[in-house]
Amino acid sequence: MGAASSGPGPAPVRPPQGRAVGPWVRALLRRAGTGPAPAPGRGPGPVPGLALATEEPPLPSWPLPQLVSLFLPEFPVRPSGRQQQLKILGLVAKGSFGTILKVLDCGREKVCAVKVMPKVEVLRRDTLKQCKEEVSIQRQVRHPFVHGLGDSWQGQRHLFIMCTYCSTGDLHALWRAAGRFAEATVRLFAAELVLVLVYLHDLGIVHRDVKMENILLDERGHLKLADFGLSRHLRWGERAHTICGTLQYMAPEVLSGGPYSHAADWWSLGVLLFALASGEFPVAPAGDHVAMLERVNQSSYTSPPALSPALARLLAELLCHNPLRRLRYLHHFQDHPFFRGVTFDADLLQKDPVAVAVAPRPPANPPPSPDPSTFDDFDCDLTATAPPDRPWPG
The catalytically annotated residue of 105, 151, 202, 209 is 209
Residue 274 and residue 11: Cα distance in Å, rounded?
19
DSSP letter at 85 equals T
Q: In angstroms, what is the C-alpha Rg of the chain?
A: 23
Contacts with 120 (C-beta within 8 Å, 6 or more apart), sequence order? 29, 32, 34, 63, 64, 157
Exposed e or buried b per residue across 92-110, where buried means at least 16 C-beta atoms within 10 angstroms of its C-beta:
bbbbebbbbbbbbbeeeee
> Which string of DSSP letters, residue by residue, matches 375-393?
---TTS--SSSPPB-S---
CA–CA distances in Å: residue 84 to residues 74, 87, 107, 374: 22, 8, 10, 7
Sequential DSSP letters for 202-264 = HTTEE-S---GGGEEE-TTS-EEE---TT-EE--TT--B----EEGGG--HHHHTT--B-THH
Pairing of strands 98-105, 110-118: antiparallel
Neighbouring CB atoms inside 10 A of 186's CB total 22
Count how many Cα atoms sit within 13 Å of the Cα of residue 98 in the half-sphere of its side chain: 27
- Per DSSP, the three-state class of 355 is helix
- Note if 218 is an active site residue: no
Q: Can you tell me whether residue 32 is helix, strand or coil? A: helix
Cβ count within 10 A of residue 384: 8
Which residues belong to the active site? 209
